Structure 1
Amino acid sequence: MERLYDRNRTLLLLATILMIVLQRFAAAQDYDPMIVSDAVEQEVYQNTELRFGEEPVERFRKSFYQGTELVGGYLADLGDKAGGLDVSFEEARVSLGVPLGSMDNLLAIRPYFRADHLNGPTTIDVPETLYDTGVSLFNRRVWSDRFSTTVMITPSVRSDFTTSKKAFRLFGLGLVNWQKRPDLSLSLGVVYLGRSDLPLLPAFGATWTPNPWWKFDAMLPRPRIARRLWKQGGQAEAWAYIGGTLGGNTWAVTRDSGADDELTLSDLRLLAGYEQIRAGNRGLFVEGGYSFNRSIEYEQTEDDIDLDDALFVQAGWQF
């Protein structure tokens, strides 16, 4: 019984630490987890496919232009705390790729534009639309069969387009990736969120692909478990997955009083989804789930309002 108690206490401690890490990342939307986790996960998965004699689906095009992605979604508040807050958004991204000497050292460039539309709350003033535009610069360099590095920098402007004060944000990420086994990769590094209320934080994760049908991705802040549904040689494949991710961001805004301030929306999410991956960085995804630990906060006036849980759905198309 004592051993069982110690084990349960250890599991509870690990779960608590994980939730703390997730909450501290909750405003780091400039950290595009899909770029980072896909790059690490894809390398491990392709190694697994080759070990099992399968032809991998080539994710990248042999050209400067790597494709365009359109994404949109809706989050519906389940209650009326603070008057409720529904959020819809649309985003457009363009992917470009530049070899830096070889195909093992690529610079990915992703300019993007996103608009979030707020409906509520009624107890505090918020802009109707918030904007986020910038460019993500991502480099993954392979140094040997075992080691690679991942660097990402995202300068951006996040505001309601009525003020420029503190609208410029800079995100930075650095990772060292260790291919411990053909089916397992470990990553360790640091992340700079570009926020006055959050320090330099550790970044870590692991990707395990025991066979071509399963992927276990523990890369924070978007851990997930994926099961392959079908595959068409090296042309396409489809996956179903469950996992968690982070929502929210920080924007520079103008209050109704005319004062400049910083608005932060944050939440944690559990989700399930379906994804099709096609050769040449093409495909689509649709996912939905449950949003909790939601809040809205102003920096200057220190207004901090908790919101009810919500349901959300979003989808994207790469072409």
Structure 2
Amino acid sequence: MLTTRHFLFFLTGLCCFTISLRAEPAQFEPEAPAAEPGLAFLLPTDQFLRQELDEPDDSDPLLPPPLEDSFSQVEPTPNPDTESLPDLKTLLRPRFDISAEWEPEADGVEMISSDLNLKLPLYPVFGPPPPFLTAGYSFTRINAPVQLDLPRDLHQFSLGVSWMRPLNERWLVRTMLSGVFATDFYNTGSMAWQFRGGMFAIYRPNEEWDLAFGALATGQEDIPVLPVIGATWRPSSSVKVNLMLPNPRISYLISESETRQQWAYVGGGMSGGNWAYNLRDGSPERLNYREWRLVVGWESMPPRTPGRFQSPGASYLIEAGYVFGRKFEREHQAADIKIDNSLLLHSGIRF
């Protein structure tokens, strides 16, 4: 049941987790041609895909202003802040992403999860633009009846690299590779290891459209390879339409100041995960979880200034939604475990 106690526990846990890890706001927030269109909702939102596709921002502040301004006929005004090179400490400053999610009880199953992701630019060895070292940890708790024989606590660790390279004014290529260890800490054999990667290209025919295509290897048996194909459309500075399937999203700019933008959005898509665990009798098993979701959300972020490498602050988001088509699949069990639809509460911070 969705209770006030659960809601307060969710918000308090996220705040405490954020405060314990919060650092000085990053001064290095690179830009890219498709930084705002939202590739975050391109694929199932397990930690690897959230981390790698959340924002294709691996371009470099030392390059000329991003391609999103390359169609403008207005000559940029020189700015001493953007013409001076940042120091090494600024270039090496990592970016943190923290989020928490709660799906209240349905059919006796309640799910709680939290993620921590780190993105570190590999200056000065490579670049510009540099590859990024990515690392993450995800915790998932499943409160379920004993007879379902589902694990209670699941952990996922990931380590990888990603690199985005502009080819010319119209084309950009992104590559990524990651190793993942997903387990209940009892089954730590080969089932727990996954290797993921992919490559896709982004083409910008004009200032309103981005087209993307390629493929991603997910490391999951149910969906081993996912095609990357779709488009994003920005008809105005206040509207962003993400046509990337299977997770479309429409965002609208509610208000804007010199230091903040307030966005509202509606969207949907698929979510889930894949872990190795032991059944109650000790036999090894692999668990796959999938669900579909419809969400509405709000995001507060600093405005993006083309050609600048200094981020003015952190980004915050909160969203609520409805999840359906929920099921657990196990590798050695014939029958899937289907559970009722539920609600969703998700919040996060990036700094």
Per the TM superposition, whether the score is higher than 0.5 is yes
2:316 corresponds to 1:284: yes
**Contact 2:67–2:169 (Cα < 8 Å) also in 1:** no
The residue correspondences of 1:41-52 to structure 2 (distance < 5 A) are: 46-47=68-69
Identity of aligned residues (%): 22
Q: Secondary structure at the match of 1:180?
A: coil
2:264 corresponds to 1:240: yes
2:139 corresponds to 1:115: yes
Q: Secondary structure at the match of 2:56?
A: helix
Deviations 1:20-76 (A, max 9, x none): xxxxx65x6254246425228x99994499689999xx9xx9521232222111101
Q: How big is the shift at 1:135?
A: 2.0
Aligned to 1:4: none
Q: How big is the shift at 1:160?
A: 0.3
Q: How big is the shift at 1:139?
A: 1.3
Unaligned runs of 5+ in 1: 1-24
Q: Give the alignment partner of residue 93 of structure 2, picking from 65, 81, 90.
A: 65
Q: Secondary structure at the match of 1:106?
A: coil
**Cα distance in 1 for residues equivalent to 2:141 and 2:102:** 9
Deviations 1:174-206 (A, max 9, x none): 101111111111011011121234343321121
**Contact 1:265–1:297 (Cα < 8 Å) also in 2:** yes
2:320 corresponds to 1:296: no
Aligned to 2:46: 29
Aligned to 1:259: 283
Question: Cα distance 1:75–1:50, how it changes in 2: closer, same or farther (>3 A)?
Answer: farther
Aligned partner of 1:74: which letter? W
Structure-1-length-normalised TM-score: 0.79
Aligned partner of 2:118: which letter? V
**Cα distance in 2 for residues equivalent to 1:68 and 1:241:** 23
**Contact 1:45–1:183 (Cα < 8 Å) also in 2:** no
2:341 corresponds to 1:309: yes
Aligned to 2:161: 137
Question: Cα distance 1:131–1:124, how it changes in 2: closer, same or farther (>3 A)?
Answer: same
Alignment length, in residue pairs? 285
Q: How big is the shift at 1:236?
A: 2.9
Structure-2-length-normalised TM-score: 0.73
Question: Cα distance 1:314–1:123, how it changes in 2: closer, same or farther (>3 A)?
Answer: same
Q: Secondary structure at the match of 1:69?
A: strand
Q: Give the alignment partner of residue 214 of structure 2, picking from 189, 210, 213.
A: 189
Q: Secondary structure at the match of 1:258?
A: coil
**Contact 1:49–1:212 (Cα < 8 Å) also in 2:** no
2:261 corresponds to 1:213: no
Q: Which protein is richer in strand relative to its size?
A: 1
Q: How big is the shift at 1:90?
A: 1.6
Unaligned runs of 5+ in 2: 1-42, 60-64, 83-88, 303-310
**Cα distance in 2 for residues equivalent to 1:206 and 1:173:** 18
Q: How big is the shift at 1:140?
A: 1.1
Q: Secondary structure at the match of 1:39?
A: coil
